[in-house]
Structure 1
Amino acid sequence: MEATGPPAKMAERREELTPMLSQYFALTEEYDDALVLFQVGDFYELFCDAAEAAARICEITLTKREDSTGTYPMAGVPIDNAAPYVETLLDAGYRVAIADQVQDPEEASGLVDRAVTRVVTPGTVVEDELLGAGNTYVAGLIRGSGDGDTVGEAGAGERWAVAFVDVSTGEFRVTSGDVPTIQDELDRFAPAELVTAPGCDHGFDVEGMYTPFREAAFESAAARERLGGYVPAPDAVVETDAELRAAGGLLAYAEYTQGVDSGGLEYISRIARYDPREGMGLDATALRSLEVFENREGDDDHTLLGVLDETSCALGRRELTHWLRRPLLDRERIERRLDAVEELARRSLVREEARDLLKDVYDVERLVTRVSRGRANARDLRALKSTLDVVPELRETLADCESRPLRRRREALDELADVRGLVGRAITDDPPIEVTEGGVIREGFDDQLDDLRATEREGREWVADLEARERERTGIDSLKVGYNEVHGYYIEVTNPNLDRVPDDYTRRQTLKNSERFYTPDLKAREDEILGAAERADTREYQLFTEVRDDVAREAERVQAVAAVLAELDVLCTLAGVAVERDYVRPELGSGGVHVKAGRHPVVETTEETFVPNDADLRERPFAVITGPNMSGKSTYMRQVALIQVLAQVGSFVPADRARLPLVDRVFTRVGASDDIAGGASTFMREMTELTEILHNATEDSLVLLDEVGRGTSTADGRSIAWAVSEFLHDEVGATTLFATHYHELTRIAEGRPGIQNLHFTIAREGTDVTFLHTVVEGASEASYGVEVARLAGVPTSVIERSRHLLESGLPGEAGAHPDPAADRSNGHRDDADGARTATAAGSDSEPTPTAGDSGKPTDLEVALRELNIANMTPVEALTWLHERQRGLE
C-alpha cells in the first residue's frame, strides 16, 4: 500500500502547518497503515499523497487547497454517501480510518476535536452497504508455544491456533491443530483478513488481506484479560495457550477496528471452541471440485447451495452455508436433523406456515449488533420487534409437532415478551431515520415528554389561531402569520396597510413589499414553543438511547432466538426441496455406499432429462470407471460425493434409495489447473493434490480421482495411476471412484476382490455415437475420442485424418501407413486404447496358434463351449467377450 502520511517537505515544516493539517497528519502517523478519511463539515477529506491515491482509485476530483502552508492536493467524498468509496478503497487493498468530528462545532472555541472512531478493513466491516448476505470473517492466527501446543518435532507436527470472528453478527470460534488442519479451516472459513503478531512467518495460503497487529495483544496474560471481558472463565473456553492467545489477540484487533475499549463488543458473547474432527473434512479443493458454493464460472448459480437455498431469511441462508461447509460426523445428530426434515416434508401445512412466518424475519444477528454498538436507529428497533412478533405465532405453528428436534427448537424459542413490549410501548410505528429530531417515542410512554409536547402543541395551536384574531383586531384582511428558522415567528403586513399596524407590533424584518413584526405575546409563545420542542427532542433522544441500551442488555437472548430461527429455516428449506425434487431419506449404517437410481442434485436441474445411476460400493469399494469423454464419468463421481455430503448435512438425497456410511473426509483430484505464478505446472499441481490424498485419506474417506497421471507421458501416467490405485486399495482401504482413460488400469481388478470395473454405455451406428449416460459393470470397449471431437465441431478433414491414423498408426510407427490414400486394411486392429495388435493377415509375426496347429482346442474354444448363452444378459455377454478380447493382447 502506498504511503499516506505527509510528504517529506511538509513533514520537515510541521511547525508551520495549520492547526487542521497538523491534526490530520498526527492521525495519519498514528494510523500509518490506513487512509484517513478526515471529517470537514459534511465531507470526508484527504490531503497530499493520500488525496492523489484516493482520487485515482475512486475516480473523484482532485482539487487543491491553499493556506499559509502552501498549495497541496485535496480530495473528498460526501459523508452521507461514503460507503461506495470506502468499498472501492478496500477492494484496492487499503484500510480506511474514519476520523469524525467528536465535538459540536458550536461548542468549540477553536479547532474542532477529531478522532478515529473506527478502522474499516475487509474483515471487520459492519455497514450494511459493505456486507453481503453471507458471513465476513477476520481470523486471528498464532503458533503454539507451550505445553499441549506442540506435537513431536517442529514442522509437519507443529501446532497452531486460529480464531474466527464475524464482527457484524458476533459469531466467534476458536480451534487448534497441525498445519494441514489449520489450512483446511482457513480454506473452509475463507477469512477476508488474517491477523497475526508482527513477524509471524505463518506460510498459510489465504486470499484475504494480511494484517500484522501489535505483539502485546497476543501475549498470554493480555489475551486472558481480554477474553475475560467477554466470558466469565476464559480458560474453560479454550484448551491450549495458543487458542487463548489467538482468541484474545483477535478480540483486541476487533475492538481496535470498532473504536471501543476492552470488552466493548458485548454482543460477541458466543465464543465457542470447536474440534475440526467433529465434522466431515471438505477442503478448498473438494468444495471447488464439487461446486458446493461456487461453480467454474465463479458465481453461485448452478451450485449445491444454489439448488438448496430456498431459505426465507438471511439467518437461514448463513446457517445453510454453515451446514454445507461442515457436514456432521455424529450419527445421532444427523438422525435428529433427518427426523425434523422428514416430519416437515410430511406435514406440508406446518412447513409452509412456518416458511411464510420466517419470511418476516429480519437479519436479527446484525440488528442486535447495531443495537449493542449504539448504532441502531428507531427503525432497527421496530424491525427487531417485528421479528420477535413472529416467535409466538411460530411456536403455535409447531405446537403439535411430534419429532424431538422440532419440539426442542420450539421450546427454545424465547418469546422475549419484555423486549417486544418495551419496543412496542416506546417506539412509534413508523419512526423517522434520524433519532435526534423527534417523532421517535410514542405518546404515553413518558410523562415529561408528553408535557413538553403538549406545551409545544398548545403553543402552535395558539399561533395557528393568531392570524384570524389579528385580522379581526386590525382590520387587515391580507395579514399573515408565518415562521422561518432564521427569524422565528412573525406577523407580515403589506406596505399599503402599514398605517393600520397596532402600537404593540415590533418590526422584525423589512421586505420589498411588506414588513414583518412580532408582539410580546407572540415572542413569549415562540420562546415557549421552541424551548419545548428543543427540550422534547432532547428528551426523546435520551429515552430512545435508554430503550436501545435496555434491548442491548438482552442481546444474548436475542441471539439465541436468532440461532433457532436460522435452524428452523434450514430444516423447512431442506424439507421443501426434498418434496419438490423427489429426494428420499438416506439410511445411515456400515457396509459401504449403496445408492439406487442416484441423481446429481445440480445437473438434474439444468438438463431436460437426467439418467439416474446406481452406485454399489459395499463389497467392492474401489471402482475403476471407464468410458468416453462426455459420457458422464465426472458427473457420476460427483453425484455420489454430493449425495454423501447431503446425507451428513442431515438432508434427504436425490435417489430412489440410499444407504450410506459416515465419511470422515471427501478428497477430490478432479480437473486440470496450473499455478504459473507459483511455478507449478498442471502435472505438479495434480501430484501435490494427490500427495495430500495419499497422506491423509483413511478407510473412512471417500476419494474421487479423475484422469490421474494424464499430465505426463503415457508410460509414466499409467504407472502412477496403477501404483496410486494399489496404495488406496491395499494400504488405505478408502472408498474410491477412479475415472480414467487408461484402459490397462481395468486389469488391476484381477486378483483384487475389492475392485470393480464400471463403464458408461454408448450406442453406435456407423460413425455416429450416442452417449446413453448409463453406468454398468465391466470396462469400456473404447474411448471414442475421435467421435467426441466430431461432436465438438472439429473440421471434417481433421476427423477423417484422425480416424485414418487411429486405424493405420502414427507416422514412424512400425507398420504404419502415413499416406491417407494408403490401404487402410493393413492387417491391424485397434483395441480399446487405440493400441494396435498384429493379426495373421499382413503381419510379419507368426500367427496365433489355433486348434488346427496343435491338434488341441484352445482355451478360447473351451470357454466358448462351456458358455451358457441362454442364461446371459446382453451386458454379461459383452463383458465376457471384452475379457476374452483382452486375453488375446
Structure 2
Amino acid sequence: MIGARLDAVSEIAESMQTHRTSHASVLEMEGADVTSSQTEIHHIIVSVLSTIGRSPDIQRGLTRIFHRKATAAEFIAVIQAILIAAKQLQQLCIIEDKSTNQQRETLHSVLLRKLISIASSSTVINGAAKLLSALNKEAADRQDLHNLFIISDGKFPEVAEGTRRVELANEKLDSLIVVHRKQLRIHKLEYTSVAGITHLIELPLNTKVPPDWVKVNSTKKAIRYHSPEVLVALDELALANEQLTVVCQATWNSFLTGFGGYFAEFQAVVQALASLDCLNSLAILSRNKNYVRPLFVEDDEAVQIHICSGRHPVLEAVLQDNFVPNDTDLHAEREYCQIVTGPNMGGKSCYIRQVALIALMAQVGSFVPAISAKLHVLDGIYTRMGASDSIQQGRSTFLEELSEASDILKKCSANSLVILDELGRGTSTHDGVAIAYATLQYLLEHKKCMVLFVSHYPEIVSIKNKFPGSVGPYHVSYLTSQRDVNGDFKSNEKMDHISSEDITYLYKLAPGVSGRSFGFKVAQLAQLPVACIQRAIEIAAKLEAAVCNYTEQQIRRSCSLSHRQDGCKNEPTEDVLESDSLSSGRVEGLDDISELYRELFLNLNFGFLEEHGDDRRLQFLMQARNLAAQLIKLWSSGKSTTRDLWVGHTSWFEL
C-alpha cells in the first residue's frame, strides 16, 4: 500500500517536470504522444481541484443531501461540481493510439488508475446528469420551489397537476378583467398590485361601480376595488398555490430520499478526489522541496532506519539553506539505540523529531526531506517530549511524564520507533538518573526497538557497557571560545571565567558525550537578572573547585597507597588501585566504617562525571570497587554498624 502511494506521487511529480518543458520540444521527442499524455496528469488534476475549491464543501454537501437538509441551490452546486470533475478526469482514463487504432491507458500507477476510475465512472456521470436534468437551476437560485422541477416526459405528475391548477386559477383571473372592461366600458383597464395586494381594479373617484364591489384602499385621485368574482378567484388561486407548495415540498423530500441510491457512489467519488488532492499535494511538496522517495526493506529483514542528510520538514522551510542536515543509522542487529547529549538549544530535540517525522512521512507514502532514506515498516512511533501537567486532575508534571513513559513501555514493540526527550528531569538528580537509566535498560532488554534517547545526564551513557554494539553515544557538536581583556579569542581547554565564554552551535550530530549543557548561556538569553546569573556562576565555580580539590586528594592518596618500586610519577593506574594495601582488610587513612562508605560513594560519583576523562573515571570506579570489597568483608564478619550502613545505601548498590 505504501509503495502504491509512492508510485502515484512519483508519477504526478514526473508529470509536473515534464509539463514545464515546451510543447514544441516535446513533439520533437521520440514517443511524443506518451509524454504529451503525461503532461496532462498534473494539469488536469490541478484543474479539477481548482474547480472543487471554488465549489461548496462537497463532503458536507453530500451529508446534508443524504439527511434531506440541503437546499436546491446547494444540491445543484455539489452535484455539478462532481459532474465537472468526473468529466475532466475521464480524459485521463484512456486515449486512442492512432498507430494501432486501439485504446490504451495513460497512467502507470495502479492507485492513480483506481482513484480516477472511481471519480470518473460512467455510472457517476450518468447519475449526476440525470439528477441535474430534473431541476431548474435559475429557480433554485431564486429559491422558487414551484418552478424547481422540470416537468417533462411524465416526470413529477403531482407537481404537474398542482401547476395546472395554479395556471387555471390565473387564467380565470385574466378572463375576469376582460369582463370588467366591458362592464365598466374601460378598454385599457388592468389589474394593479399595491403593498402586496394583487389583482386590484383602480378607478377614478367619480366612476360608478356595482354596489357589491369591495373597496380595498384609495388615494386622492383613485379608489381600488376587488369585485366579488375576483375575490373568489383569488381564493381559488391561493388554495392552488398552497396545494402546489405542499406537493413540491413533498416531491423535493422524495427526490432527496431517492438520492440515497446514489450516495455510496458519490461518497466514493469524494473520497477518491480527496486522495487525489493529497497525492497531488505530496507531489508538489516533493518537487518544490527536493524530497526523495524512501525505500522500504522487506518485512522479513531486520528493523532498521537509515537516513542520509535528513532534514526537519518544518524548520527547513523556516531556515531555508541554513538548516544543518544529519545522518541516522539504526539497525536491530547492530546499533539500535542512540543516546544524544549536548548543550541546551543545540538541536537535540530537533534531531529526534526530524527522524520521527521522516519515518512518519515515509510510511504515509510521502517523499521525505533527505538525500536518501531506507527503513522498515514501523508499527508505531512513540514519543515522550515536552513538559505539561494536569493540575485539575491532581497530576504533576513528573507524573504526566512517567505516565507517558509507562504507556510507551507497554505498547511499543521491536518494530517501533521510540523517542524520549529528557526523561527524569522532573525530580531530584539521583531519582531522575535512576529512572531514566532503568527505563532505557528496559527498552533495550525487553523491547529491543529503535530508540533515540536525549538526556543531560552523562551517566546514562554508561549503559553502553551492558549492551556493547547496540548503544551509541552521540552529541550535538558546538564550538566554545573565551575572550581575553583585548576581546581576542583564546582556547577553552580550561575555562577561568564562565561568563566570558562564547558558544557556537554547529547542530551536527557527532559520536561521543557532551559533559556540559551551558545553562548560563540560556539564562542570559532568557534575560535573568545579571546579579542572579553572576551569583550562579560563583556557586558553580565553588562547586567545581571543591570537586577538583577532592580529585587531587584522591590522586595523592592513591599514590601514597602504591607499593610500586618506581613510585607514583604519573596518575595512578589500575595496578595502584588494586594494590595489596587495598585488599588486606584495612585501608590506610580510613579507620572508620562510615568513612569507607563516604569514600565509596564519592568515588562512584566521580566515576560517573564525564569531564574527568575515561582514565580518571576508571581510576575512581576501580577505587570504589576495592572499597566495596572491603565493606563486604566487614559486613560478612557480622559488624552491626556495617550492616546498618549497608541497608541505608541499598539503592546505590542496586544501581
Q: Is the TM value for this pair above 0.5?
A: yes
Give 2:86's match in structure 1, choosing from 391, 394, 402: 391
Once the two structures are superposed, what CA deviation does each residue of 1:663-721 show, in whole Å capped at 9, x if it has no partner?
22222222222333333332233222222222332221111111222222222222222
Q: Does 1:377 align with 2:71?
A: yes
Give TM-score scaled by structure 2 length: 0.69
SS of alignment partner, residue 838 of structure 1: helix
Task: Please name the residue that 2:13 is paired with.
Answer: 345
CA drift of 1:729 comes to: 1.5
Identify if the C-alpha distance between structure 1 residues 508 and 598 changes in structure 2 by more than 3 Å, giving closer, same or farther.
Answer: same
In structure 1, distance between residues paired with 2:241 and 2:234: 10
Contact 1:507 1:515 in 2 (8 A): no
1:709-748 matches, cutoff 5 A: 709-748=424-463
Once the two structures are superposed, what CA deviation does each residue of 1:515-542 show, in whole Å capped at 9, x if it has no partner?
2224577557646654554454344334
Identify if the C-alpha distance between structure 1 residues 852 and 493 changes in structure 2 by more than 3 Å, giving closer, same or farther.
Answer: farther
User: Higher Cα Rg: structure 1 or 2?
Assistant: 2
Contact 1:504 1:520 in 2 (8 A): no
Once the two structures are superposed, what CA deviation does each residue of 1:555-585 show, in whole Å capped at 9, x if it has no partner?
2222222222222222222222222222211
Once the two structures are superposed, what CA deviation does each residue of 1:430-460 show, in whole Å capped at 9, x if it has no partner?
4447978423223647486568657757976
Task: Please name the residue that 1:838 is paired with.
Answer: 551
Contact 1:423 1:547 in 2 (8 A): no
Contact 2:169 2:240 in 1 (8 A): no
SS of alignment partner, residue 493 of structure 1: strand
Q: Does 1:785 align with 2:519?
A: yes
Output the amino acid matched with 1:757.
P
1:396-411 matches, cutoff 5 A: 396-397=91-92, 399=94, 400-411=106-117
Give 2:472's match in structure 1, choosing from 747, 756, 761: 756
Give TM-score scaled by structure 1 length: 0.52
SS of alignment partner, residue 616 of structure 1: strand
In structure 2, distance between residues paired with 1:366 and 1:434: 22
1:478-493 matches, cutoff 5 A: 481-483=191-193, 488-493=198-203
Which sections of structure 1, spanning at least 5 residues, go unmatched?
Answer: 1-332, 817-827, 830-835, 861-878
In structure 2, distance between residues paired with 1:505 and 1:493: 15
Output the amino acid matched with 2:109.
S
Which sections of structure 2, spanning at least 5 residues, go unmatched?
Answer: 17-38, 95-105, 483-500, 575-609, 621-655
Once the two structures are superposed, what CA deviation does each residue of 1:621-664 show, in whole Å capped at 9, x if it has no partner?
11110001111111111111111111111111121111111222
1:489-500 matches, cutoff 5 A: 489-495=199-205, 498=206, 500=207
In structure 1, distance between residues paired with 2:471 and 2:570: 35
1:868-879 matches, cutoff 5 A: none
CA drift of 1:586 comes to: 0.9
Identify if the C-alpha distance between structure 1 residues 510 and 638 changes in structure 2 by more than 3 Å, giving closer, same or farther.
Answer: closer
Contact 1:354 1:397 in 2 (8 A): no
SS of alignment partner, residue 516 of structure 1: strand
In structure 1, distance between residues paired with 2:314 and 2:129: 45
Count of residue correspondences = 514
Once the two structures are superposed, what CA deviation does each residue of 1:202-241 show, in whole Å capped at 9, x if it has no partner?
xxxxxxxxxxxxxxxxxxxxxxxxxxxxxxxxxxxxxxxx
Give 1:600's match in structure 2, choosing from 312, 318, 338: 312
Once the two structures are superposed, what CA deviation does each residue of 1:139-176 show, in whole Å capped at 9, x if it has no partner?
xxxxxxxxxxxxxxxxxxxxxxxxxxxxxxxxxxxxxx
In structure 2, distance between residues paired with 1:572 and 1:655: 20
Task: Please name the residue that 1:872 is paired with.
Answer: none
- Between 556-565 and 613-622, the greater mean CA deviation after superposition: 556-565
In structure 2, distance between residues paired with 1:781 and 1:750: 18
1:67-86 matches, cutoff 5 A: none
> How many percent identity over aligned positions?
28
Give 2:330's match in structure 1, choosing from 617, 621, 624: 617
CA drift of 1:759 comes to: 0.4
Output the amino acid matched with 1:545.
N
In structure 1, distance between residues paired with 2:363 and 2:44: 27
Structure with the higher helix share, 1 or 2: 2
CA drift of 1:735 comes to: 0.8
Give 2:481's match in structure 1, choosing from 751, 760, 765: 765
1:15-164 matches, cutoff 5 A: none
Identify if the C-alpha distance between structure 1 residues 509 and 693 changes in structure 2 by more than 3 Å, giving closer, same or farther.
Answer: closer
CA drift of 1:356 comes to: 3.0
Identify if the C-alpha distance between structure 1 residues 616 and 447 changes in structure 2 by more than 3 Å, giving closer, same or farther.
Answer: closer
Contact 2:324 2:508 in 1 (8 A): yes
Output the amino acid matched with 2:125.
A
Once the two structures are superposed, what CA deviation does each residue of 1:223-278 show, in whole Å capped at 9, x if it has no partner?
xxxxxxxxxxxxxxxxxxxxxxxxxxxxxxxxxxxxxxxxxxxxxxxxxxxxxxxx
In structure 1, distance between residues paired with 2:378 and 2:156: 64
Identify if the C-alpha distance between structure 1 residues 501 and 454 changes in structure 2 by more than 3 Å, giving closer, same or farther.
Answer: farther
Give 2:259's match in structure 1, choosing from 546, 551, 556: 551
CA drift of 1:407 comes to: 1.3
Identify if the C-alpha distance between structure 1 residues 523 and 714 changes in structure 2 by more than 3 Å, giving closer, same or farther.
Answer: closer
Output the amino acid matched with 1:555.
F
Q: Does 1:662 align with 2:347?
A: no
Output the amino acid matched with 2:47.
D
Task: Please name the residue that 1:507 is paired with.
Answer: 214
Identify if the C-alpha distance between structure 1 residues 534 and 713 changes in structure 2 by more than 3 Å, giving closer, same or farther.
Answer: closer
CA drift of 1:760 comes to: 0.5
Task: Please name the residue that 1:707 is paired with.
Answer: 422
- Between 701-710 and 683-692, the greater mean CA deviation after superposition: 683-692
Once the two structures are superposed, what CA deviation does each residue of 1:820-870 show, in whole Å capped at 9, x if it has no partner?
xxxxxxxx65xxxxxx86347x9975669999845799879xxxxxxxxxx
In structure 1, distance between residues paired with 2:520 and 2:280: 48
Structure with the bigger RCO (C-alpha within 8 Å, sep 6+) is: 2
Identify if the C-alpha distance between structure 1 residues 353 and 510 changes in structure 2 by more than 3 Å, giving closer, same or farther.
Answer: closer
CA drift of 1:494 comes to: 3.7
Contact 1:438 1:540 in 2 (8 A): yes
